[in-house]
Amino acid sequence: MSQVFSEETHQNLLSRIPHCTGREVSDWLRAVDDGPALFRFEEKVSWLRSEHNLAYGHAKAIIHEYDLRRAARRLL
C-alpha cells in the first residue's frame, strides 16, 4: 500500500524535482501525457521509476500532480 503525502509534502517534493532530476515538473507532466496509456496510479508510478529511473517519492508526486491537473481540466 502506498503512503499518502500531505499537501505540504507534495509541494516540497514538486519543488525539489527540477534540482534532483534536471527537468522541470512541466516536462515530466508532458512525459506522462506522452507515455503509455496506463490507468492505475501505481502503474504510472512504476512506469516513471523504471523508464526514467526516478525515486519513488518523485514519481508519486509527479503522477499525483498529473492527476490533479487532469481533474481540474475536466471541471472547466
Check residue 58 and give its pLDDT: 95
Check residue 76 and give its pLDDT: 63
For residue 48, what is its C-alpha cell?
516513471
If you write DSSP's letter for every residue of 15-74 in order, what string do you get?
HHHHHHHSS-HHHHHHHHHHS----SHHHHHHHHHHHH---HHHHHHHHHHHHHHHHHHH
Check residue 1 and give its pLDDT: 41
pLDDT in tens, 30-56: 999 999 999 999 999 999 999 999 999
